[in-house]
Amino acid sequence: MLPSHIAIVMDGNGRWARRRGQPRLFGHRAGVQVARDVVIAARDLGVKVVTLYAFSTENWKRPAEEVQGIFSLLEEFFARGVGELAGSGVKVRVIGDRERLPESVRRVAEEAEEKTRHCTAMTVNVALNYGGRWDLVSAARSLVEDAVHGRIGKQDVTEEAISARLSTAGQPDPDLILRTGGENRLSNFLLWQAAYSEIWVTPKLWPDFTAEDLKSAIRDFETRERRYGSVGTER
């Protein structure tokens, strides 16, 4: 069965650039183009949601020059790439804590969301200043606020109530988490939503990732038996 939601940890831009004797930003620029290509390829395959881990809450620890360069590339992605995405029926949704983002990034991100609001072929979540722990804390704060004002009681704190307050509310949890660069960890990405996600890791660095690699990941996913804690078909 085709995964309805694929979440991607786009790792390896810096290593890709370094191997070519280039600054890290060279790799990030190449990675932006790959992200556009992969989103369109996923839409063509029938995937309904793709989530791209573009900038995490931990990425602020990187050199200020690199962070500024990443944001400039993201602005370019939203400003120039939105026309192609809208023309392909792809809705853009930004998830994460927007408060710390530069005002210019927030503006173009909101414009991209508005321009693609009508699109229905696929949704691409761009995770900016996102962290799974931040997502859970935000949901908890929302629950506490509702409880303080008497809108909910203890019995209303359920898995469904938490899911409804996460940044991906209204979307299916990721069926498949794909990570490039060979690392075997989630890196604070969609921690709640990934509870039963299948994970596929490739040593390929993100700028080398192709639509054929995406198809390989999906083919591997389709061979797996998802048991969700049960014994499955083989005992």
Tell me which residues are annotated as active site.
Answer: 11, 59
- How far apart are the two ends of the chain, measured CA to CA in Å? 22
Q: CB neighbours of 55 closer than 8 A, spacing ≥ 6?
A: 70, 71, 74, 96, 127, 128, 129, 130
> SS3 helix, strand, coil % of the chain, rounded to 5?
45, 15, 40
CA 198 vs. chain centroid, Å, equals 15
Q: Which two tokens stand for residue 212?
A: 């054929």
CA 27 to CA 177: how far, in whole Å?
A: 22
CA 2 to CA 44: how far, in whole Å?
A: 12
Q: Which two tokens stand for residue 13?
A: 């831009």
CA 65 to CA 17: how far, in whole Å?
A: 16
